[in-house]
Structures are given as C-alpha cells and as structure tokens.
Amino acid sequence: MHSKSRYIWAYMMIAPTLIGTLVFWSWPAVYSIYLSFLKSENFGLVNHWVGWANYERLFMDEEFWQNLRNTILYVVLFVPTTIILSTFFAVLLNAKIKGQAVYRVIYFLPQVTMAAAAAMVWVIIFAQDYGLLNSVLGTHIAWISDKRFAMYALVMVGVWGAIGFNMLLILAGLQGIPRTLYEAAEIDGAVGFRKFRSITLPLLTPTLFFTSIVLVIGATQIFDSIYLIIGKTNVALPAVRSLVYAYYQNSFIYYDQNYGAAIVNILLVINLVLTGIQFMLQKKWVIYD
C-alpha cells in the first residue's frame, strides 16, 4: 500500500513530460504507421484501407530514391565533419588559453540563435551577386541554386550550427579524462600529438560514440535549412531534397498525408537500422574503462 502510493506520486511527477511525449511523439508515430496504409479524403475524415499501395508507389518513384541518396550524402558529409571540427575546437578550448570563456561562448552562440534568423543571414552570405562568400573567395557561384554546390552550402550551415553543442559534449568528455594519465605519459616521454592519439582519443570514444549516434539521427532528419535556405522554387531542390522535406512536401503542400506517412516510416526503419549498426560496430572502436 505504502509503495503503491509512492509509485503514484512518482508518476505524477513525471506526468507532464510523459503525457507530452505520449501525445506529441508516440501517438503521432503510431498513427503515421496507420496512415501510411490508408487513402484519406476530405481532410482525413474519410479513409480507405489500401494496404501496401503507398509503399509500392514509393519504391517505384525515382524521386524517392534520389531523396534517399541526398539524405545519405548529407549524413556522410555532415556527421564526420562535425565530429572532427567539434573535437578539434574542444581540444583547443580545453587548453589553458586567455579568454577561454569568451571563445566557448562564441562557439556555442549558433546553438542559441534562432534557426530562421540564422538561415536568412546565410541566404545573404550565399547570394550570388552580393554575397559575402563570393566576395571573399572572388568567385561568382550560385551557392544555393546551383545543384553542384547547394549540398555543400547546406552542410556548411549544418556544421556551423552543430559545432557548438557537440563541442560542449566533447569538452565535458575531455575534462573527464584524469590528468594523472597525461602526467604518466609525459614521464614516459610522450608529447603533443602522441598524447592526443594515445590518451585523449581512446578515452573520448564513449563521448564520440554518443555524439555520432545523435548526429546521425539528427542529420537524417534534415529539413529546416532546406526549407528556409533552398526554398520550393529553387532549381537545385531535387539535388538536395531530403526524405523529411519530401514528407513535408507530400503531406502539407500536396495534401497527400498517406504518401508522406509512408516516407517517414521508411526513414524510421533506416534510423533503427543505422543505430543498430552503430551499436554493433561500437565493440570495435569504443573503449570503456
């Protein structure tokens, strides 16, 4: 009796988060699986069961495969770049340098900047005629509307936005490495990069594993920068359109929620598989002491 009332009390404490998660995450996720087997009419008030038809249409759709390739390319470009740069800056900021706090704030700033406002600034930076990037490089490239460059522009924006938070995580990981190990290594004669490679990197792998999982899941869901920076009448859109953008387009522009639901369910499966693979591979490179 006593313990039961304690459980109730505990559930009440987590209720706000739990209810929010169930209502705004779990229910829509389950419902979108259901939706993908329907053909809805009249704003979803009339539904017909169509079985796998939406998925069949998806696999026959050349655009879907292109979107999938785009998403994978983004992940492949974005995740390693972000991890390498975040680690690099975290190591630099972990050293005793003047104005350390100031630098940490500067690198963290993108994290607290409003995404839409930042995107507008990036659009101006990337502009072909008067953009900052072109005038610095002395080029005349249509960064966001040339299909050869648009993906790199998006990766640039993505990395810029992601470094701050990941650097912070890695910094925390760095500070968890006992100093005594470095002192021992110094006695053994290790200097500079050798210390980084033999002590820092191995002991950082649990943190890097965590960041890579979160980054991969986040990167597969790229949407906002495509929506805000590329835009729907951009000639380069087919070259960068991600699965989530295609989901948005089908569900909310073409009013085909069923086809849209099929797209995100495929993405869900992809993410489950990718995360599973990462967990399997971790035995090969992640070191837990």
Residues that bind another protein (CB under 8 A): 9, 12, 42-45, 123, 127-129, 142, 144-147, 231-238, 252-256
104 or 147: whose CB is closer to another protein?
147
Q: How far is the CB of 44 from another protein (least distance, A)?
A: 6
Q: How far is the CB of 30 from another protein (least distance, A)?
A: 19
Q: Quick one: 103 exposed, middle or buried, by C-beta within 10 A (0-12, 13-18, 19+)?
A: middle
CB 200 within 8 A of CB 90: no
Residue that is written with structure tokens 């995100």 in the block = 264
The DSSP code sequence of 98-150 is TTHHHHHHHHHHHHHS-HHHHHHHHHHHH-TTT-HHHHHHT----TTTSTTTH
86 or 225: whose CB is closer to another protein?
225
The CA-atom distances, in angstroms, between 168 and each of 32, 107, 162, 197 are 35, 9, 10, 20
Segment holding 40, helix H or strand E: strand 38-41
Q: How far is the CB of 244 from another protein (least distance, A)?
A: 16
Q: How far is the CB of 116 from another protein (least distance, A)?
A: 13
Q: How far is the CB of 8 from another protein (least distance, A)?
A: 10
131 or 173: whose CB is closer to another protein?
131
Q: Which of 211, 226, 214 is nearest to 115 (CA)?
A: 226
48 or 197: whose CB is closer to another protein?
48
74 or 126: whose CB is closer to another protein?
126
